[in-house]
Amino acid sequence: MERARRAQMPGRWPWRRPAQDHHQPGFIPITPIRKTGSEKRHRLRAFLAVLPAVFVVGTLLGSAQAAPVTFVVNSTADAVDANVGDGVCKASAGDCTLRAAIQEANANPGSDVIHLLPGTYAIAIAPVNENAANVGDFEILDPVTIEKAPGYLGGVIVDGGTPLPSSPVVARGLDRLFEIHPGAGDVTFKNITLQNGFSPEEGGAIQNWSLGKLTLDGVTVKDSYAEKAGGGLNHADLNDYAWTTEPPNLALLPDGRVEIKRSTFTGNGSAGGSGAAINNVSGGTITISDGSVITLNPGPIMPDPLDPEEFVLVDPSDYPIAASAIANQARWGKAGTIRINHSTISLNAAEGSGAGIFSEGDSIVEITNSTVTQNRATAGGGGLYTGGGKVTVSGSTISKNKAANGGGLYSGGHVSQHGLRGTFTVKDSQVFENTAENGGGLFNDGDAQLSVTNTTFRKNHSSDHGAAISSEGRASMTLT
């Protein structure tokens, strides 16, 4: 049933050949729209308000469904499919390329699989004048799994390619790597490396609009950059999507979710102040688990030779120090959720607050059985900064982080949009060797409600107040 619905969704984007589908029940023709400006987005001609009617048609009449297909990519060239929609992944030279496989998967309703043989797959077709599946980044419009082909030695790398001479100096790639559109459903990347993506907007490696679930399993995302947010991954909000006509039920659509397992994000950057590695724009849920590592975003740092109290990049060619590694932006009045479980957040740097994790608004942060260590921020919260919302740190180690206030943890105490005080809970954890001017281990401010249970604070340092914990404003604190 779910696959039948997806086949009829107006959100299945334009590059499937209409001629292949005119007689399918519930077919809604959609036309590609040329984009304007630097950001590359697509627009729908159909209202999502007609979705329930389309579902009924697909259910009662029985949509034509293609069987799932596995495409084996055997060429690292960047070339389009010779005949999109014929079910055969074949570029003009006769080989199956990554771009051709994605085009065929988009044209085949339902979930497909793309196997990549070891090698480096670099984007080589510049995004000139328009955004479509045959130029620039790889556009995902339908459920798909993209993974290293099993049984082969050697790695699989998807690379941003060589920047154009006119590209900004900060760009290491020709374009972003993947854009996942709202109708794509569930998308999985597995056992591959994504590197050198670039976007002048959001999502350097991946821009995710999907209403479904995006899974990264055994994936390395590195050396990618987005000017505004989400250098590695941006989990976007549909309010920012460039619709031809905004659907009237937009507020009712799900925010989607991201699951990151056994993966690494390193060397990524963003100048926008939010999510050098991973950014959650609004109400989505991002789970980081199973030994994932978010480290060295944007790169290694050292004391500034001109001012040892400050810090600079060891390698000046790394992306500039700016955004926190992981962020909940809480835009559009929504509360996002970031869950970190059995993972490590380390050695990240930010010109501002929350070098490791930054969370705004009424958002939720849960850190469980994880390590947050050696992160450095110029303002509040070296390891974690939260403006408010609900925060739980459980069974975790917070160590050797540094900031102006709240070397390890910072609770801002923002009152929610409903007038509720935020809660900040630390239990069964170790907080040690963190450094700040105030609140070496933890800084509690505003109207926050802090609860600390069965937790050890040791060897934290403060040059002013509260080596372990500093509590100010109208914040409350309970230690048990």
CA distances from 316 to 160, 198, 319, 379 (A): 21, 18, 8, 22
Cα separation, 378 vs 381, in Å, equals 9
Q: Which pLDDT score, from 0 to 100, does residue 182 have?
A: 92
User: Using only C-alpha atoms, what is the Rg of the chain?
Assistant: 23
Each residue's pLDDT expressed in tens, for the chain with a length of 480 residues: 333 333 333 333 333 333 333 333 333 333 333 333 344 444 333 333 333 333 322 322 233 456 789 999 999 999 999 999 999 999 999 999 999 999 999 999 999 999 999 999 999 999 876 667 789 999 999 999 999 999 999 999 999 999 999 999 999 999 999 999 999 999 999 999 999 999 999 999 999 999 999 999 999 999 999 999 999 999 999 999 988 788 888 888 999 999 999 999 999 999 987 899 999 999 999 999 999 999 999 999 999 999 988 999 999 999 999 999 999 999 998 999 999 999 999 999 999 999 999 999 999 999 999 999 999 999 999 999 999 999 999 999 999 999 999 999 999 987 777 777 889 999 999 999 999 999 999 999 989 899 999 999 999 999 999 999 999 888 899 999
Measured distance CA(166)–CA(124) in Å, rounded:
15
Q: In angstroms, rounded to a whole number, what is the distance separating the alpha carbons of residues 31 and 15?
A: 8
Q: How far apart are CA 209 and CA 324, in angstroms?
A: 22
Q: Where are the beta strands (DSSP E) in 244-400?
A: 257-261, 264-266, 269-270, 278-280, 285-289, 293-295, 301-304, 307-313, 326-328, 337-341, 344-346, 349-350, 357-359, 364-368, 371-373, 376-377, 384-386, 390-394, 397-399
Cβ atoms < 10 Å from Cβ of 281: 28
Taking the alpha carbons at both ends of the chain, their separation in whole angstroms is: 51
Tell me phi and psi for residue 7, to 5 degrees: -65, -25
Q: What is the pTM of this model?
A: 0.87
Q: How far apart are the C-alpha atoms of 403 and 65, rounded to whole Å?
A: 55
